[in-house]
Amino acid sequence: MTAVAQGGTLTYRQVLRNGRLATLLTGDAVSKVGDGMAFVALPLLALRLHGQVDAALAISLIRVVPFLLPVAASLLFGLGRRRFDPRTALLVDSVLRCGVYVGLGLLALAGSLSFWSLAAGLFAGSVLRLLSASSRRVLAMGMLGEDGWLALNGLIGTTDSLALYVAGPALGGLLAALTSPGLVLLVNGLTYLAMLVAALVLPRNGRPDEPGPDKASARPGWQILRRTPVAFWLFLTVFLFDLFYGPVEVALPLLVTGSLHADSRALGVLWTAFGLGALVGALLTGQLYRYPLRFVLVAIVGGWAASVGLLAAAPGVVVAGIALAAGGAIYGPFTAVAYTLLQRVLGRKEQPPVFALWAGGVAVAAPLGFGLGGPLVAAAGARGGLAVSAVVTALLVPVAARWLGTAMSPTPAATCPGAASR
């Protein structure tokens, strides 16, 4: 183990001294750049291929279908007693997504791709998407002790912000403009070769459900959550936070083109401001070890609510950009802090099923939020929808503070449904 930084936690540099871990994180970052490129290319390709399908519906379908099977797979392992080997899940997902995206890209370049073929490929090729994401975190965490978990989660958050929201979309937009969206998909598939190589150099681990002293590993993920108060309330906090975010993404385009009297370029600038803010926040995550992380998590919820409130009242694009940049910086450490708290209260063999359930549940929260955001924004307008999102998120602050404070008290057994039967 490398030396521990002052304050009892490892720094980013110390974590990256582990060669295999650095290789895994590099493969993760490269593949996320590809996914960020596809984020731009897929709607463009859908608009070219939608035919008789309504254009807005076509884009919506292309956004939704890659999450249907992954959520089902995550819930299968999170709600049941089945276990998956993280290294195998990562290898299979890398091969599958590389093959599917390269194939779709080649068909698009040849002019032989139809809209429904694109949707079917994205549907089938994404089946292990969430399990793979959970596996990366489990495998990376297994190479470190608890003193490295916050830094590790901060590094993962940093690559999310930089690759998925800044570098990937910028490269994807440029390549699509100079060539075609089909080539972007092909390149996205090739980025998964980096993830495949990183997974191949990892040591072979025993299956998570091997017989051993940790008999709790046989419990389903939902049961572990119910019997672990902090994990249960953490999950509920993260789910509601992501749910209340939904109206923001629905309202922002309407705010820009309506009240702010700007165009699509301004919308791109605003999302870039958010991404850069999130990158800064993720880079600073490693410094948060000085504070109780449950208080940090609650403070992030409150800070994000304030940022959305400022966005709702923004008189122009500049103020809106400041609000989103500040919100991104505040939000940047959120996932890292939540996962670090979760990891601290779970045994290692409990983590794969809980992570699978967690990923599936969080993946459901966002589209539910989008679905609720549509009628809300239609009824209240863009500014009204943002204001409601800000107020409801702010109301989550005292609730989450009470949930997590009670769950982490010396006698938490009665704070969570099902805990009494433990």
Mean pLDDT over 324-333 rounds to: 92
131 and 229 belong to one structural domain: no
Residue 216: pLDDT over 60: no
- Check if the beta carbon of residue 62 is closer than 8 Å to that of residue 131: no
pLDDT at position 311 is 95
Domain assignment present for 286: yes
CATH no. for residue 110?
Answer: 1.20.1250.20
Q: 152 in a domain, yes or no?
A: yes
- Would residue 309 count as lying in a domain? yes
The residues, ordered by sequence, that sit 6+ positions from 421 with a Cβ below 8 Å of its Cβ are none
How many Cβ atoms sit within 10 Å of the Cβ of residue 52?
A: 6
Listed in sequence order, the DSSP H helices in 284-350 are: 293-313, 317-331, 334-344
**Do both 103 and 250 map to the same domain?**
no
Q: Which of 26-30, 43-47, 332-336 shows the lowest mean pLDDT across its residues? A: 43-47
Sequence-ordered list of residues with C-beta below 8 angstroms from that of 69, at least 6 positions apart, any chain: 123, 124, 126, 127
Question: 141 and 231 in one domain?
Answer: no
Instruction: Tell me which residue of 55, 41, 66, 190 sits closest to 119, measured CA to CA.
Output: 66
Q: Tell me: pLDDT of 278 over 90.
A: no
Q: Are 243 and 263 members of one domain? A: yes
Q: Give domain status of residue 422, yes or no.
A: no
Phi/psi of residue 108, nearest 5 degrees = -65, -40
Residues 171 and 176: their CA atoms lie apart, in Å, by 8
Are 27 and 198 in contact, with CB atoms under 8 Å apart? yes
Tokens of 73: 């797979």
Average pLDDT over residues 81-86: 74
pLDDT digits (tens, 9 = 90+) for 151-206: 887 888 788 778 877 788 878 878 888 888 899 999 999 999 999 999 998 876 54
The CA-to-CA distance between both ends of the chain, in Å, stands at: 35
Buried (b) or exposed (e) across 91-108, using 16+ Cβ within 10 A? bbbbbbbbebbbbbbbbb
191, part of any domain: yes
Determine, yes or no, domain membership for 112: yes
Residue 247 belongs to some domain of the structure: yes
The pLDDT-based confidence of 407 (bands split at 50, 70, 90) is low
Is residue 81 located within the same domain as residue 98?
yes
Residue 301's SS3 state is: helix
Nearest-angstrom CA–CA distance, 156 and 266 = 28
- Among 180, 210, 240, the domain boundary falls at 210
What is the domain extent for residue 319? 216-417
Q: How much is the pTM?
A: 0.70
Structure token digits, residue 403:
């949930």
| Interval 93-121: pLDDT, tens | 999 999 999 999 999 999 999 999 999 99
Q: What is the distance between the alpha carbons of residues 194 and 250, in angstroms, rounded to a whole number?
A: 34
Q: Cα separations (Å) of 56 from 36, 47, 125?
A: 21, 9, 23
Same domain assignment for residues 189 and 261? no
* Closest by CA position to 16, among listed 135, 134, 158: 158
The DSSP symbol for 215 reads: G
Same domain (yes/no): 188, 139? yes
| pLDDT value, residue 220 | 66
163, 247: one domain: no
CA distances from residue 161 to 27, 29, 332, 354 in whole angstroms, order as listed: 15, 10, 8, 24
Considering 176, 210, 244, which residue would you say is the last residue of a domain? 210
Q: What is the mean pLDDT of the chain?
A: 81
Do 100 and 189 touch, CB atoms closer than 8 A?
Answer: yes
Q: What does residue 5 show for φ and ψ, rounded to 5 degrees?
A: -70, 160
Rounded Cα distance between 377 and 304, Å, is: 19
Q: What is the CA radius of gyration of the chain?
A: 21
For 220-271, write each residue's pLDDT tens digit: 666 777 777 778 888 889 999 988 988 887 788 788 878 888 876 677 778 7
Question: Residue 64 falls within a domain, yes or no?
Answer: yes
Same domain, 173 and 269: no
Domain boundary among the residues 210, 243, 275 is at: 210
**Stretch 321-334: mean pLDDT, rounded?**
92
Nearest to 285 by CA among 158, 159, 401, 145: 158
9 bridge partner residues: 5
Counted domains in the chain: 2
